Amino acid sequence: MNSSLAFGTIGTGATESHEFAIHNGGTEPLTLTKGATSCTCTIADFDRAEGGDPQGVKTVPPGGKTRVKIEWKGKGAGPFRQRAAIFTNDPRRPEIEFVVEGTVVPTWKAVPEAIQLSRVSGAEGGEAEVLVYTYGDRPPEVVSVAIDHELGDRFTLATEPLPPPEVATEPGATGGLRLTVALPSGLPLGRLRATIRLVVKAPDELTIEIPVDGTVAGDLLVAGAGWDRTRQSLMLGTVSGQKGVRTELFITARGPHRDRFHPTVRSVVPDGLEVTIGDAAPVGSGGVVRVPVTIVIPAGSRPVNHLCTDQAKPGSIVLDTGHPDTPELTIPVCVAIGP
């Protein structure tokens, strides 16, 4: 026996369910036992329903009926066919198969999926946009939009509906928004990571997360041994506390305020880090000034862990620069000091 349901569409990640009725038209009790299901389909509440037991067996008396609830989840995109089976003690119908068919459609789509900012001016800020498409039965209504960054209140986030011709360029979309983010000036130099959270009704409430990843740059540039340009961090790794380690970075300053760049150390983490600022020297024709920075973890340092993981936050070297556009420069330090 095969019972099929043409469901239609389901959003990616959404869960739907349907109850199938089973009637015992015989003269003996009908015993139902859970069988196999496909990967995103389950037989729900079978054990807790009337006539069920913890072993996944349900008994239906003669003339009686019961309901079997099938749940399935939208996965991927495109057509889907999910199945669940129940075994019976009826020799004429030893197995009942429930089949659910339809199409998985996205509930939303962001283009691009993430905002990538290769080089944002620390002095001037910047701007980026992303298009958000929705697939509900009405255009999206914005509930809220925010960005999880320590300077989030200085970012400007704006949305506007996409006109129908632009929505029509995305197959299956029924509505859309243009989301614009304006980055403020004065952002700390280095890696910029944040997440924009947009909540809309379309008509169900959807929480849309769009990552923001980039680098904030200015007239100051860090380079040297152990400096990771992608992560904008000094990667020292695991260091022996008995031996210590020494490395050297160079900070170059360019632009009209380069001669005002005279960095001094404000703070360091871990506190045993020794940082020495060298003398500024012109490079080439003098359009660039370079300052050496020597970093030493002395022998005998106590164990610490600042390896830049979720469990071990980065260390840091914070410099006062004297530069009017970038008065403060933070150098993240990824290091663990062992015994």
- Residue 318 pLDDT grade (very low, low, confident, very high; cuts 50, 70, 90): very high
E strand spans, 122-173: 126-134, 141-147, 156-161
Cβ proximity of 74 and 11 under 8 Å: yes
Give me the residue spans of the domains in the chain: 2-105, 108-217, 220-338
Q: Measuring CA to CA, which residue among 247, 332, 236, 245 is closest to residue 294?
A: 247
The pLDDT score that the predictor gives to residue 49 is 44
> Could you report the per-residue pLDDT of 173-208, keeping only the tens digit for each?
899 999 999 988 877 777 788 999 999 998 888 889
> Could you report the per-residue pLDDT of 220-258, keeping only the tens digit for each?
889 999 999 878 899 999 999 999 999 999 999 988 888
CA 30, CA 157: separation in Å to the nearest integer?
61
Is CATH 2.60.40 correct for 220-338?
A: yes
Q: Render 282-294 in DSSP notation, one character per residue.
A: EETTTTEEEEEEE
CA 158, CA 322: separation in Å to the nearest integer?
35
Is CATH 2.60.40.10 correct for 2-105?
A: yes
The pLDDT score that the predictor gives to residue 333 is 95
> Could you report the per-residue pLDDT of 98-132, keeping only the tens digit for each?
888 888 877 888 999 899 887 777 777 788 999 99
Check if 2-105 and 108-217 are the same fold: yes
Output 294 or 216, whichever has higher pLDDT. Answer: 294
Is CATH 3.40.50.2300 correct for 108-217?
A: no
